[in-house]
Amino acid sequence: MTLEEKAAQLGSVNAERILTADDELDEEAVEEWLGDGIGHLTRIGGEGGLAPADAARITNELQDYLETETRLGVPAIPHEECLSGYMGPEATTFPQMLGMASTWNPALLQTVTETIRGELESIGTVHALSPVLDVARDLRWGRVEETFGEDPYMVAEMARAYVDGLQGEGRDDGISATLKHFVGHGATDGGKNRSSFNVGMRELRETHLFPYEAVISESNAESVMNAYHDLDGVPCVTNEWLLTDLLRGEFGFDGTVVSDYYSVRHLETEHGTINTKQEGAVASIEAGLDVELPYTEYYGEHLVSAVEDGDLSESTLNEAVRRVLREKFRKGVFDNERVDPDEAPDAFHTDEARDVTLEAARQSMTLLKNDDDLLPLEADSVAVVGPKADDPKELMGDYAYAAHYPEEEYEADAITPLAALEERDEIDVSYEQGCTISGPSTDGFDAATEAADDADIALAFVGARSAVDFSDVDADKEEKPSVPTSGEGCDMTHLGLPGVQEELVSELLETDTPVIVVVVSGRPHAIEDIAEDAPAILYAWLPGDEGGPAIAETLFGEYNPAGKLPVSLPKSVGQLPVYYNRKANTANKDYVYTDSNPVYPFGHGLSYTEFEYGDISLSADSATPLESVSASVTVTNTGDRAGTEIVQLYTHAANPSQARPVQELLGFERVDLEAGESKRVTFEFNTTQLAFHDLDMNLTVEEGPYEVRIGSSATDIESVAELEVTDTKTVPKTARTYYTESAVDVE
């Protein structure tokens, strides 16, 4: 291979640069960008706005060109985004990931990503830029909705399932998953996207790196994407310790590292650490970055000139090229197989996919409050009020195709809550929007309260709009009716409902009609006043295509909610952080007028039935540092209807040598129970899971007393047992256990 051909394998080209206005290939542009070959094809279907048949056709044509018109005939890796479904036209949209985390059901998430995989495969995609493994520690960050929440173990469990469903059984099967954003994007300064990340090494390893290490070790994730920010002053994209020593050396990762879009450019435009494009290219590839995305800007000719100038060793270039070519062979792109454009549409919006997204939406429903058993509803008439009730886009996360481009017209294939309620013949439905998402006008309040006065029940659908927004700060935004305040580029200094929505809810609560607040939002909002005054609150997150039916079924009791919060909901933004596993001195210190407790804690969620827990039974009262222990508890449904309880296992180091989190999630299990039924839930964990990094930064199990706790949330601990670890031992990687096994048996 020539230097030019090698460098081309580390580059990419996006749809905008090679497609004409009528969705055909621009032959001159193709020759310019692909003449020496190419590493990745960036979002041909999604960015190109191509229907499935056209996406498949164009991908085939590009692969044909590469194989027949370039000297070496090396095909490309086509990649797409797929966080909550393929981010392209006609795709099925599933709940946003914070909603999926609320299901506490990794098996269901695996089914979701198996379904996404089918749509991606039909258009010729072999690589996807998901899932997000960021641990959400600052709720001001707009991308919290993309995460699996605030707990590293929860993130690891859900991410493993996501990867297993997307990648399939082996490397020559399925779609390569990309773990992102490596590392710490969920805890940057000020909760701002791409700002600096500053934590100690112990916190970095035990919280933010843990999910990556677990998923790489157990699911063989095939790709990793660097984060935008700097880590202690070193941009992640040029951090050799992070991308090479740790990721490839310590974690044993053997796939490709791809750049977050434009992150090499940001070395110049944001970090200010380089003066020329050649400097940026050299610094990135030497750190361990293999592929520049979304298109070649700093790699390409600048890598060639760097080798020729003696600034870059050709062996460094060769090693990155080997990794990209190895991945192409592993994914079978050299097999000359082509997808059938005529069959591609058949893979989209199948009946099976509809069933999966409906079930996912149902299980994401999280009932926070239900005074006097107001739910499930028994009403002849309902007033539907609020700006989140009747717009399909308002059910979508920021990386759904319909929401990702907020200024473009696109008819989302989703059923709104209003539409689902109006399909019910047994109730009369009236509707008033009341206000917009973010605008200041209260002109619709009177009509909304009148509708509520005339109905048996008022349903207030409120929340934030989700989208990707990189527009500049604009004073006129305060006047605009629908400004995105959740999603990428939508970081906020307050966590209340945007616009005048809280005022609308207050007005509705002044009527004599019971008000049920349904929060349809990807942002974890501070809703202290609503939590105090509203009799019932349902958090529906961003539930996707079948969100409306899932909400209606839950409100009327055909579905018994079981969702639990994957993030703690604060009283106000000033109370942050409120994540449940803070250290004691942070968790227990109060403010002058406010305590440190969240409005609703991690793991909280109600059902239409009640559950009772027995005492924990441990398989042993003591264990060695490498031993497995079982913790069992009996759970009984004491209500009069079937329901599902999510049983949560926590541990607490009773007398550690360091300040440790007040408790840490170690496992969870969904338990389906008929009325009056009891089941025995057993968690088997290894004592290496109790390890933390000692003063020399060795991962060590420390001798001493530990508490094993089982409960229904982080604050509702139902039973506690004591476990003594008999010795102190440094944990070798070969002996480390990352995940707890669980089983459910009928009593």
Sign of CA dihedral 496, 501, 507, 510: negative
> Per the structure block, which two tokens stand in for 375?
């739910």
pTM of the model: 0.98
Q: How confident is the model at residue 471 (pLDDT cuts 50, 70, 90)?
A: confident
Task: Name the one residue in this structure whose structure tokens are 């945007």.
Answer: 498
Q: Cβ of 378: how many Cβ atoms within 10 Å?
A: 10
Query: Closest by alpha carbon to 572, among 590, 603, 594?
Result: 594
Q: Please list the alpha-helical segments (H only) found in 371-431.
A: 401-404, 417-422
Instruction: List, for residues 357-411, the tens digit of each pLDDT value.
Output: 999 999 999 999 999 999 999 999 999 999 999 999 999 999 999 887 666 667 7
What single-letter DSSP state applies at residue 216?
Answer: H
> Per the structure block, which two tokens stand in for 579?
């994540």
Q: Which amino acid is at 458?
A: A
Query: 170 to each of 100, 176, 330, 599, how far by Cα in Å?
Result: 25, 10, 9, 44
pLDDT at 408: 65
Average pLDDT for the chain: 96
| Contact of 439 with 480, CB cutoff 8 Å | yes
Cis, peptide link before residue 376, omega less than 30° from 0: yes
> Per the structure block, which two tokens stand in for 737?
């256990």
The percent of residues above 90 in pLDDT, for the chain, comes to 95
pLDDT at 651: 98
Q: Please list the alpha-helical segments (H only) found in 288-409.
A: 301-309, 314-330, 351-364, 401-404
* DSSP-based three-state secondary structure for 554: helix
The answer to whether residue 413 scores a pLDDT higher than 90 is no
pLDDT at 418: 98
| Contact of 431 with 487, CB cutoff 8 Å | no
Tell me the DSSP string of 273-284: --SSHHHHHHHH
Instruction: List, for residues 605-629, the tens digit of each pLDDT value.
Output: 999 999 999 999 999 999 999 999 9
Could you tell me which residues come within 8 angstroms of residue 315 by beta carbon, excluding any fewer than 6 positions away?
A: none
Cis, peptide link before residue 181, omega less than 30° from 0: yes
Strand 366-370 and strand 428-432: the pairing is unpaired
The answer to whether residue 720 scores a pLDDT higher than 80 is yes
| Contact of 709 with 720, CB cutoff 8 Å | yes
pLDDT at 406: 61
The answer to whether residue 738 scores a pLDDT higher than 80 is yes
Say how far apart CA 666 and CA 191 lie, in whole Å: 27
Go through 240-277 and write b for each residue having 16 or more CB atoms within 10 A of its CB, e for each that does not: eebbbebbbeebebebbbbbbbbbbbbbbebbebbeeb
